[in-house]
Structure 1
Amino acid sequence: MKGGRVVKRSRQVNCDKRSYSNEIQSHKHDFGQFLFPLQGSLEINTNQQEVKLTTEHCFYLPPTLTHGFHSKERNEFLILDLPDLFLLRDTESMYIKMDEQWSSIRFLLLEEVRHNKNESAALRDLARYVTHKLKTSTPPSIDYIHNHYKESISLDTLAEIEKYHPTYYSTWFKQKTGKSPKRYITDLRLAEAKQLLMSTTWNITSISEEIGFENSSSFTRWFVKWEGITPQNYRMINNG
């Protein structure tokens, strides 16, 4: 997405409630911005993502990212603008599930908006905490992989979790992890298989079922492909 006006802000943290119209607009900021939905939804588009933001998620927009946005329904959002001095370098957009911690952050920000019209020390502390959360949060698709790597996972499923276009997702993932999604999932399954081979007396059939294979033959072929040795020999060598 190209073009769009540049929205500039002071070096202060800003937090307030905003609503958006059905008119499609496009701009970019010289600051980072968190959007916390309170009511309704907002459609956001960048070159890599198409997001319909509802109350189940929040969304982070980094500085200089051009984005289009509009809403087709009545809406209200809590917006937190973060100046550069609060941000890490090379931050990227992030689509985040509103879990208990993020819901608590939204509540505290709302309390600050309700009681303080100007920037307060508490708001600056909250801004720093939000920045820390952004730094330490695991991207949701990677979190999904760690919870479902024993199952069949498609690239389209992972891209949809991040709201990235599938053609962009693989590039983003490799930049993030140093591996392709397929290799990342394979390494998790291999690590689990090796751990079970070395630390349990389970037979090969049980191990293959545990990490998501239909039968021991397909598991053995897969293991040999990636390790160059059968599971039985791997167990024998590593167990002495």
Structure 2
Amino acid sequence: MKDCFVKDISHFDPHDFSANDGEGLYRSHSHKYAEIVVITDGEGYYTSEKNQNIHVSSGSILIVPPHLYHGFVCVKAWKGMSIHLKPQNIPHYCNYQINQLYKHDANKIIATKFDQNDLRKILHSVHQMEDELSMRKTDKFCYDILRNALELILLLIIRHAKQADQEISHPNDEESIFREVLQKIHLNFNTSLKVSELSSHYYLSESTFRKKFKEHTGYSPKQYLTNLRLDEAKRLLRQTKKTIEFISTEVGFSSSSRFHDQFTKRVGATPFEWRMQDRDHMKK
């Protein structure tokens, strides 16, 4: 699928090592793609240039950022799969989820462990993605199904990572409040979010909320929301065949004319012109 955010999904069953029973060491390497690794059987260790040495076994899930040198040693023949993602094409909310995981260090392997119940959910989502990628002819729902499957995988990873995190923030801490605000905005950017509702939920006046929001993000709430909508619109224009009118509604603009005006003002081209220019650029 052209410009899909999933490059490929590969299975290892096990790697073809020279040692007996699939055991062995894989040389350190890096790639420009983000990688999600799911271990379904066996045992081993993942290492990275950040001095990580992570024990993995059935149920282990890892996220490897792009360009990070990493390797692994398999001590008991393992099975699993790797999902390679194109960083520049990852849907905005999935990007937000990944950034939440990397809030402390943006260049390390994130690892967590799932029980069999949640592992089944992960595998079901991966198989959904594989089914969509294997279709000879894609339809307008393909992108959304892939995005929803990736969102579920990342949400489960975040939930387990938070459960394992020993650094629990105080619920009234300002930083944690605005982390929650940003998550709410990223999750509901395409709805009619109102500053008054957000501020009242956290017992803040609108003026205080706007001031604090700009301190944390560098943007007013309205600017931040518009930027999110336009970024997602650009991804949909690039990666799908959905009509411009449909995209304007899907990303949360109240009218296609407002979408057209905001897009042109920020990008310097109309949505149609930008889509054509982007396609011409991809052909070169």
Task: Tell me which interval the TM-score lies in, with the shorter structure as reference length.
Answer: 0.3 to 0.5
Larger radius of gyration: 1
- Bigger proportion of residues as helix: 2
Q: TM-score, normalised by structure 2?
A: 0.40
